Structure 1
Amino acid sequence: MPEDADKVRASIVERYGRLARAAQAQLQITDCGPQQFNDGGFGAAAYDDTTNLPAGAVRASLGCGNPVAVADLQPGETVLDLGSGGGIDVLLSARRVGPTGKAYGLDATPDMLTLARANAAEAGAVNVEFLHGHIEDIPLPDASIDVIISNCVINLSADKPRVLAEAFRVLKPGGRLGISDVIADDGIDPAQRADAEQYVGCTVGTLTETEYRTQLAAVGFTTCTITRTQTAAEGLHSAIIQATKPTAPPGTLIRPMRTDDAAQVLAIYQAGLDTGDASFETVAPTWEAFDRAKLPRHRHVAVDPSTGRIFGWVAASAVSDRCVYAGVVEHSVYVHPDHVGRGIGAALLNALIQSTETAGIWTIQSGIFPENTASLRLHEKAGFRTVGTRQRIGRHHDRWRDVVFIERRSTVAGPE
Structure 2
Amino acid sequence: MTTERATPSLSLAADAAATYAEWFATLSDPTRVRLLHAVSTSRSGALRVGDLAVALGISQSTCSHHVRRLVDVGFVTVDKVGTSSVVSVNPACCTGLPHAADVVMGTLAEAPCCPEDLPVDVSTRAMRLEDMAAVREIYAAGIATRNATFETEVPSVEELWAKWLPQHRWVAELDAAVVGWASVSAVSARECYAGVGETSVYVAPGAQGRGVGRSLLHRQVTEADALGLWTLQTSIFPENRASVALHHSAGFQTLAVRSRIARLDGGWRDTVLLERRRTTD
TM-score (norm 1): 0.39
Which of 215, 237, 247 aligns to 1:347? It is: 215
Which letter does structure 2 place at the counterpart of 1:333? V
CA deviation profile, 1:125-155 (whole Å, cap 9, x unmatched) = xxxxxxxxxxxxxxxxxxxxxxxxxxxxxxx
**Which structure 1 segments of 5+ residues have no match?**
1-245
Which of 215, 232, 247 aligns to 1:379? It is: 247
Determine if contact 1:392/1:402 at 8 Å carries over to the other structure.
yes
- Which residue of the partner structure matches residue 27 of structure 2? none
Number of residue pairs aligned between Structure 1 and Structure 2? 166
With over 3 angstroms needed to count, the CA separation of the structure-2 counterparts of 1:334 and 1:284, relative to structure 1, is: same
Does 1:389 find its partner at 2:262? Answer: no
CA deviation profile, 1:351-374 (whole Å, cap 9, x unmatched) = 011111111111000111111111
Which letter does structure 2 place at the counterpart of 1:264? A
**Which structure 2 segments of 5+ residues have no match?**
1-115
Which letter does structure 1 place at the counterpart of 2:220? L
Determine if contact 1:247/1:254 at 8 Å carries over to the other structure.
no
Which of 158, 178, 186 aligns to 1:318? It is: 186
DSSP-derived class of the 1:274 partner: helix
With over 3 angstroms needed to count, the CA separation of the structure-2 counterparts of 1:390 and 1:333, relative to structure 1, is: same
Does 1:400 find its partner at 2:268? Answer: yes
- How far apart in 1 are the matches of 2:183 and 2:160? 10
Does 1:265 find its partner at 2:135? Answer: yes
Which of 277, 283, 300 aligns to 2:153? It is: 283
- Which residue of the partner structure matches residue 334 of structure 1? 202
CA deviation profile, 1:310-330 (whole Å, cap 9, x unmatched) = 110100001001111111000
DSSP-derived class of the 2:167 partner: helix
- Which residue of the partner structure matches residue 9 of structure 1? none
- Which residue of the partner structure matches residue 361 of structure 1? 229
- Which residue of the partner structure matches residue 87 of structure 1? none
CA deviation profile, 1:82-137 (whole Å, cap 9, x unmatched) = xxxxxxxxxxxxxxxxxxxxxxxxxxxxxxxxxxxxxxxxxxxxxxxxxxxxxxxx
DSSP-derived class of the 1:253 partner: strand
Determine if contact 2:253/2:275 at 8 Å carries over to the other structure.
yes
How far apart are 1:250 and its partner, in Å? Answer: 2.4
- Which residue of the partner structure matches residue 92 of structure 2? none
Determine if contact 2:123/2:215 at 8 Å carries over to the other structure.
no
- How far apart in 2 are the matches of 1:250 and 1:367? 29
Which 10-residue stretch deviates more, 390-399 or 326-335?
A: 390-399
Q: How does 1:195-214 map to 2 (within 5 A)?
A: none
With over 3 angstroms needed to count, the CA separation of the structure-2 counterparts of 1:283 and 1:352, relative to structure 1, is: same
DSSP-derived class of the 1:296 partner: strand
Aligned residues: CA RMSD: 1.5
- Which residue of the partner structure matches residue 233 of structure 1? none
Q: How does 1:134-213 map to 2 (within 5 A)?
A: none
How far apart are 1:388 and its partner, in Å? Answer: 0.5
How far apart are 1:253 and its partner, in Å? Answer: 1.6
Determine if contact 2:179/2:204 at 8 Å carries over to the other structure.
yes
DSSP-derived class of the 1:379 partner: helix
- Which residue of the partner structure matches residue 52 of structure 2? none
Which letter does structure 1 place at the counterpart of 2:159? A
- How far apart in 2 are the matches of 1:322 and 1:344? 33
How far apart are 1:252 and its partner, in Å? Answer: 2.0
Higher relative contact order structure (alpha carbons within 8 Å, sequence separation ≥ 6) = 2
- How far apart in 2 are the matches of 1:384 and 1:355? 15
Which letter does structure 2 place at the counterpart of 1:390? R
How far apart are 1:409 and its partner, in Å? Answer: 0.6
- How far apart in 2 are the matches of 1:367 and 1:253? 25
Determine if contact 1:248/1:254 at 8 Å carries over to the other structure.
no
Misfit runs of 4+, over 4 Å:
none
With over 3 angstroms needed to count, the CA separation of the structure-2 counterparts of 1:368 and 1:386, relative to structure 1, is: same
Determine if contact 1:369/1:402 at 8 Å carries over to the other structure.
yes
Does 1:256 find its partner at 2:123? Answer: no
How far apart are 1:391 and its partner, in Å? Answer: 1.1
Structure having the higher Rg: 1
How far apart are 1:403 and its partner, in Å? Answer: 1.0
